[in-house]
Amino acid sequence: MQKIVPFLWFDTQAEEAARFYTSLFPDAKIDSVTRYGEAGPGPAGAVMSVTFTLAGQDFYALNGGTVFHFTPAISLFVNVETQPELDALWDALADGGTPIQCGWVTDKYGLTWQIVPTALGRLLNDPDPAKAARVMQAMMGMVKLDIASLQAAYDVG
């Protein structure tokens, strides 16, 4: 297991969420499922925790009850190369969730993701501040990011 592992606190949906997340990425798997024993604190046999891997990144999910909830202050940033890849992830995460702005989406479990094309970083870091500003302005007007529209904003002028 890697040295730093994101720890995700769910009410009772840790296994369901982990299975959903691993279905979205080609290089993903459930590593382990641990169940509560007779000592609790959850019901004996109920899922306590799940470890899983997405694109080489380890995650730990706990069914900890309703004490804590996710906020967009912490999000998972996913780099994508193509619009079809972006669309597939975005659409799956937005189904039952809440689209936000600028490529952000909160999924049906309350976890916030940023689905971002790698081209965006290149376009925003252009040495020409006018080009970068046009890209930023275009991005700020989007909910789901559109690579062609970002590139068109960059190319204007």
What are the tens digits of pLDDT across the range 126-149?
Answer: 999 999 999 999 999 999 999 999
Q: How far apart are CA 49 and CA 5, in angstroms?
A: 14
So what's the pLDDT on residue 91?
98
What are the tens digits of pLDDT across the range 27-54?
Answer: 999 999 999 999 888 899 999 999 999 9
Cβ-in-10-Å burial (0-12, 13-18, 19+) of 137 comes to exposed
Q: How far apart are CA 16 and CA 11, in angstroms?
A: 11
Identity of the amino acid at 32? S
What is the DSSP secondary structure assignment for residue 112, as one 8-state letter? E
What are the tens digits of pLDDT across the range 58-87?
Answer: 999 999 999 999 999 999 999 999 999 999
Query: What DSSP assignment string belongs to 56-124?
Result: TEEEEEEE--SS----TTSEEEEEESSHHHHHHHHHHHHTTSEE-STTEEE-TTS-EEEEEEHHHHHHH
Ordered domains of the chain (ranges, CATH): 1-68 (3.30.720.100), 70-157 (3.10.180.10)
pTM of the entire predicted model: 0.93
Q: How far apart are CA 30 and CA 139, in angstroms?
A: 34
What is the DSSP secondary structure assignment for residue 43, as one 8-state letter? P
